[in-house]
Structure 1
Amino acid sequence: MTSTTNRARGPRIVAAAILAPALFLSACGSPVTDGGGGEGGGGAEGGDGGTLSIATGGTGGVYYPLGGGFATVIRENVEGYDATVQETNASVDNMLLIQSNAAQLAFSVGDVVADAVEGVNDFEGQPLEICSLGNIYNNYLQTVTVEGTGIQSIEDMRGKVVSVGAPSSATEVAALRTLEAAGLDPETDIDRRQLGVAETVAALRDGTIDAGFWSGGLPTGALIDLAADGDMVIIPIGEYAAPMAEEYGEYYVESEIPAETYEGQTEAIPVIASPNILVASKSMDEELQQNITAALFDNKDQLVQVHPAAEEMDPATAADVPFVETCPGAQAYFDSAG
């Protein structure tokens, strides 16, 4: 168990907490939650201009603020196009929004993208015609509790109240698979809740849950706030990456949350990482695909100011995603950038 007690907040966390609001709020405006594609709506991806809707996630995670940064960059660099963000339940919902053309761009984590391409699990019998605009950054499955719950491992969750993430989210998919890899039945061995990261933090604070899962970039805003309370505990789960990769696919790898990512976190913590993909429909105009990809990767420094997760954006490796086709326009950009 690695506690976050009695440590000073590092400069990296302060930067993330302070810079993000100023740089992305104007791009986001009020969250769009009705499934609408914005002003440009359904025709925006055809190459004739309009508004592109970006499906993100909850406001406490990384997708939403980083999506706001993406919207600003697109607005400023892709001629004829504006962009807005939608607050969603994240990965699974986002793929369905792409399928219905209620969003033209979407964030999604690797396991969900692979399922969507193959037409399995939440997409059973309905494979999606999607492609990748690049691997953006890694998601880290962060499993947290607070001191006093007695939870030091996944096995200790037996009989406890545990949030596995919002319904139809990548967090939920990965959390259920992690519990199963540890020998727990998510249906019978835990008292299961389905909460987003902000709700998970609130429930940990008021004691209505004992632990929760969150799949997101580093650092995650809601967990920065929880760590500031002085009693957050991050549970090591890296040992389950290999069996999950063997059973489900190579989008699960063991990685670490570096020491001092969160206040009071004195040691690196082994966890499970998965790539985050920016997804579009295969029907999107190829020139538009290329222009969006160029705008985002060429303005990486601006995006890092919105969220440090964007530091991982690398055109040299962004097309290395074996489980989904890279959009031809994006591939053209990556080839020229190399």
Structure 2
Amino acid sequence: MRPRPDRVRDGDAGAPGGQRAGAGRPGGRSTMKRRALLAASAAGFLAACAAPEDPSSKLWHSGELVIGTGNTTGVFYVLGAGYAGLINKHLSGYDATAAPTGGSIDNLQRLFSGDIDIALTLAAAADDAFAGTGTWSGRPQTVRALARTYNNFEHVIARTDAGIDSVAELKGRRVSLGSPGSGTELIGKRLIAAAGLDPNTDLVGLSMSLPQTTAAILSGGIEAMIWSGGIPTPGIVDLFAQAHGQVKFLPIQELLAKVDQKYPNLLDKAVIPKAVYNLPEDVAALTDANLIVVNDNMPADLAYQLTKVLFDYQQDLVSIHPAANGIKRELASDTDPVPLHSGSQHYYSSV
């Protein structure tokens, strides 16, 4: 049991750090090509780890890797672009691109259709995919983890003039639930249900990207919003800077017991320090884990190298966003119930 410590509408925005962004390659890759590029035998894998092939030799997908991230003002996008930069710099022959997306569920759907190769996702969404529940009801997927990474923090924010002081008081209100196919939408609906509301009928739930959401709450077009992301989330930093006291966090820790009844160990208590968003006091919060996942048909030597790059150059990611401090090698292999990819498993057993 894991201990617990967004396709976007503005997808043409430039990626941080000069990494180009794309919406993913159209269409899936052929089954024949996939079969022809299955992982080598264990002996071949060990040899590949010891002596990487020349860049001119055959590379998986001709060396092109697409990373599914999230909304352009969210942490998935920032760190996904940073990870792409590390791959391009340190993994000879490979060209990685960070693609802005709707987030966790969208990333997993793209991964299973072959449009992307690496997905950043909430652990809860990957758990559903592996088990064949939720979005994948009755259709378990062959998802494998490279690493558990940092934790997301749940942000439930309302306008101060809306008269909303709890999640239960979102009844009948206009609320952004995040981008379609996002982890925000997944966790947000679970929080709303824990407050005794039906997220599909008891409020006016709107599907909006984070930039759309923050603009709407500032203008009064919506009364509240839910966001799941690392801290600080750039879009939320901007929101509080521009709101001048017009928005506030709603209490959510009181919902943990109810969430645990249906989704044990999904969330854990945490604190958002007041300095993160320049607030007058700390915010009692809830968190959940994130994973980096791939399909099980990724070659073991590539999965090994992708995992190694992540930890060999983690401090480069920290310099891009402080959420990367939450990536701990001693916790990274704890991805249960989603299995580790065999290549990542080999990495963790060798360090």
What is the TM-score with the length of structure 2 in the denominator?
Answer: 0.84
Cα contact 1:36–1:103 (8 A) shared by 2 = no
Say which is worse superposed, 230-239 or 106-115, in terms of deviation. Answer: 230-239
Give the Cα–Cα distance (whole angstroms) in 2 for the partners of residues 164 and 34 of structure 1: 27
Shift of 1:25: 3.5
* Mapped partners of 2:182, 2:78: distance in 1: 17
Q: Is the 8 A contact 1:179 1:186 kept in 2?
A: yes
Q: How far did residue 147 of structure 1 move?
A: 2.1
Residue 33 of structure 1: how far off its partner (Å): 4.9
Q: Which residue of 1 aligns with 2:182?
A: 169
**1:279, 1:139 → 2: CA distance?**
16
Cross-structure match for 2:280: 266
The equivalent of 2:254 in structure 1 is 239
Q: Distance in 1 between matches of 2:191 and 2:291?
A: 21
Contact map agreement 1:23 1:69 (CA 8 A) in 2: no
Q: Which amino acid aligns with 2:72?
A: T
Count of residue pairs the alignment pairs up: 312
Partner of residue 211, structure 1: 224
Q: How does 1:104-253 map to 2 (within 5 A)?
A: 104-229=117-242, 230-231=244-245, 232-253=247-268
Q: Which position in structure 2 is the counterpart of 1:327?
A: 341
- The counterpart of 2:92, out of the listed 79, 82, 87, is 79
Q: Shift of the alpha carbon at 1:268?
A: 2.1
Change (3 A) 1:219 1:272: same
Aligned-pair distance for 1:169? Answer: 1.1
**Shift in CA distance, 61/30, structure 1 to aligned 2, threshold 3 Å:** same
Contact kept in structure 2, 1:51 and 1:82, CA below 8 Å: yes
CA displacement, residues 127-155 of structure 1 (integer Å, 9 cap, x when unaligned): 11011111111011111123211222112
Deviation of residue 266 (structure 1)? 2.5
- Tell me whether 49-58 or 253-262 shows the greater mean CA deviation: 253-262
Aligned twin of 1:9: none
Q: CA distance change for structure 1 residues 135 and 114 in 2, over 3 Å: closer, same or farther? A: same
Deviations 1:76-97 (A, max 9, x none): 1112211001111111111111
Q: Output the CA distance in 1 between the equivalents of 2:107 and 2:145.
A: 13
Letter in 1 for 2:207: Q
Query: What is the CA deviation profile of residues 93-140 of structure 1, one whole-angstrom value per residue up to 9, with x for unaligned ones?
Result: 111111112111000101111100011111112111011111111011
SS of the aligned residue for 2:181 comes to coil
2:43 maps to none
Residues 1:162 and 1:64: Cα distance change in structure 2 (over 3 Å):
same
- The aligned amino acid for 2:198 is D
2:6: which partner in 1?
none
Q: Is it true that 1:32 corresponds to 2:46 in the alignment?
A: no
Find the counterpart in structure 2 of residue 255 from structure 1: 270
Change (3 A) 1:45 1:303: farther
CA displacement 1:169-198 (0-9 Å, x = unmatched): 111111111111011122332111111211
Q: Which residue of 2 aligns with 1:66?
A: 79
- Tell me which residue corresponds to 2:53: none
Contact 1:256/1:271, CA 8 A, preserved across alignment = yes
Identical columns (%): 33
- Which SS does the other structure have where 1:148 is aligned? helix
Aligned-residue offset at 1:36: 6.0
RMSD over aligned CA atoms reads 2.1
Alpha-carbon spacing, 1:128–1:22, altered in 2? closer, same or farther (3 Å): closer
Task: Give the drift of 1:30.
Answer: 3.8
The whole-number CA distance in structure 2 between the counterparts of 1:329 and 1:258 is: 37
SS at match of 1:260: helix
1:309 correspondence with 2:323: yes
One-letter amino acid of the structure 2 residue matched with residue 89 of structure 1: G
Contact 2:65 2:95 in 1 (8 A): yes
> Aligned partners of 2:263 and 2:141: how far apart in 1?
19
- Counterpart secondary structure, 1:179: helix
Q: State the Cα deviation string for residues 23-56 of structure 1 (Å, max 9, x = none).
A: 93312x2432554689xxx769767421110011
Amino acid paired to 1:209: I
Q: Deviations over 1:257-292 (max 9, x none)?
A: 1221102x1222222211010001111111111101
> Quick one: structure 1 residues 239 and 195, their matched pair in 2 at CA, closer, same or farther if it must change by over 3 Å?
same
DSSP-derived class of the 2:331 partner: coil
Structure 1 runs not aligned, ≥5 long: 1-20
C-alpha contact (below 8 Å) 1:145/1:234 kept by paired residues: yes
Q: 3-state SS of the aligned residue for 2:162?
A: coil
The AA in structure 2 aligned to 1:190 is L
* Matched position secondary structure for 1:187: coil
CA distance in 1, matches of 2:76, 2:28: 17
